[in-house]
A and B are shown apart, each in its own frame.
Chain A
Amino acid sequence: MSRKAEKKYAYRDRPVLRALEPLAYLAPFLAAVAVFTLYPVINVVMMSFKEGYRMLTGAYDQVGFGNYAYVLGDRYFISALRNTSLYVAVVVPLSTVLSILIANLLNRKVKGMALFQTAYFMPMVTSVTAAGLAWKFMFSRDFGVINQILSWFGVGKINWLQAPEWSLWALIIYGVWSILPFTIILMLSGLQNIDETYYTAARVDGAKSGRIFFRITVPMLAPTIGLVLTINTISTSKVFNEIFPLFNGRPGPSYNLYTVVYYIYDQFYIKWKLGRAAAAAMILFLIIFVVTMLQQVIQRRWSL
């Protein structure tokens, strides 16, 4: 059917009803998005400038930069920024490198690959809370299996979850484990998009597999790697849920493990300082935005 027929049938009868029809289909969706996504985006910006904002009554003392000044001067927020940056700086590169290696192996066509894929992807679908509790038990100083395994190599008992200097590493190890499946999946689908002829040509020329990996696989995978870096930087900047099972809902054993989202939660839900929580959320968003833009620019330079 052509464009002519399209017109004929679309506007055949009662044009007003016809014009309203799309709205009827869209109404539930648009209403939900307006109330629970669009309005909150605008509101969080405004709330971040309202000093002494009180919930439900909506009353506030004055408009200004007071919330931002408070948050940026709060040592717990600074500590949250430091912890989150360190978490991102370790988890993102580590999971990226590991996932490239693993995806490269999972991409081979050998028997039993479905089984391996199931194993590697399992952590992605399981509850952070439940898996976190298993890790909590494994990290236990006195009865933990991780300390047992380390003892085979002569390492003494580490107090993973109660010693402030180790707690971030426990969170990082758990973080890498839980983000790996998703990262491997993206890498694997990137690998499967590389044209087979490149490999055939390289093999005909007698290239060794190490050379093929670094000269073909990695460069051809660059767009996927860029995507993974961006997505994982964003998601690891928001590390939050993982803290609850590991540290009983507190930010680390001695309030040393605030993350930015935990700080937002703390200001919002524990202290009921909604304006400050909104300001912290805005700062987080701006940081994520800037880092993402930087990554895009660097990636564009790199691929040229």
Chain B
Amino acid sequence: MLALAAILVASATPARGQSPEETDRLERRLLARAESLQAQEEARAAAKEDASWSRFQPRVIQSRGATLVVGEAVPAASAQRALDSGLTLLRTAGAVPERFAGRLVLYGMVDTRRDTLSRLGFGSRRLLRVDVSHTGPDSAPSWSVSADAVARALAVEYRDSLDVDWRHWLPNGYAVPHWTRSTAWGAFQELTRSPLSVAGRCVTGEIAGCRLWLAIDRDAEPFTDRFTGADLRNRLREGSWSDAAGASELRHDCLEGVDAACVTYFQSRRMSDIPAPEASMRGLLRMYRAAYGADAIERAVADTTGSIAQRLARAASVNEDSLVARWRYWTLTRGGRPRDRSTVADAAPGLVLAVALLALVARGSRP
């Protein structure tokens, strides 16, 4: 538009025979016209921008003490459903206490340029961003928040608020365990196909091996307790490791067969431990919830005393080894029910029914 005005002004050269006054008047008129056009264009752009930002106007959704602020582009019903379902998911998993969600404000796709959330009175609460996804064509997108996104955001935040043992141990997405036959198979494969010696010990029934595999104890020397020199060497061979000064010599010694060098190498990398395999940790939580309920998980995660094994066992009022043995059975049978009832007890209801039916048939007058 400015270019157009410039062209107009430039083109307003005095015509032959025009007086200087007439020329000035013409120039002023053209300039006024250009300014007017520019003002109109700016107003249109501002209106367009306002319309664009209006979808970021905050919409406050609340459920069971939790708050979700989303832009107006996200339909209220959809946001309400996502918050309700997300909280239900967490309650079912038992991994995040309901009161924790009340301390936070989840937000997504909100215009935060002018401190919007503080003006809404949420300044004192911790803000937590949640993903808003869109579907449909770019010209008319449909925005939504998923229950999964709400649950994951809260779970990650809760995990970060826990003590170091839980922060280190709890796997990603621990609170939204979508457990299927294929994940059960994955946990089985992880344990039976692992080259680590503790996995083999666990498969053949050594509970201490299972505990080391799951990394649920506070091992004094995790690298020497949980891994053999050969295990660490294999890990070193498989991964791509960039060496700090002096570490390449250790790496070389480790690969040459010096077990102590392997331990020193991993310790030198400021690694406190190698985390337990993820599918196994998720499997333990899944089995634990199925066997002892979501409340037990909530109690265990809120506990800060002792190792992970001690916390889980205490919350379920069971022995640590029996808990691990149950997990081992569950993993190796891919979710099989434990043989905790005798066959006769299992058959008793059926036999009672059989006798009752037989009595009914015997009493009948004719077939």
Q: Does B associate with A?
A: no
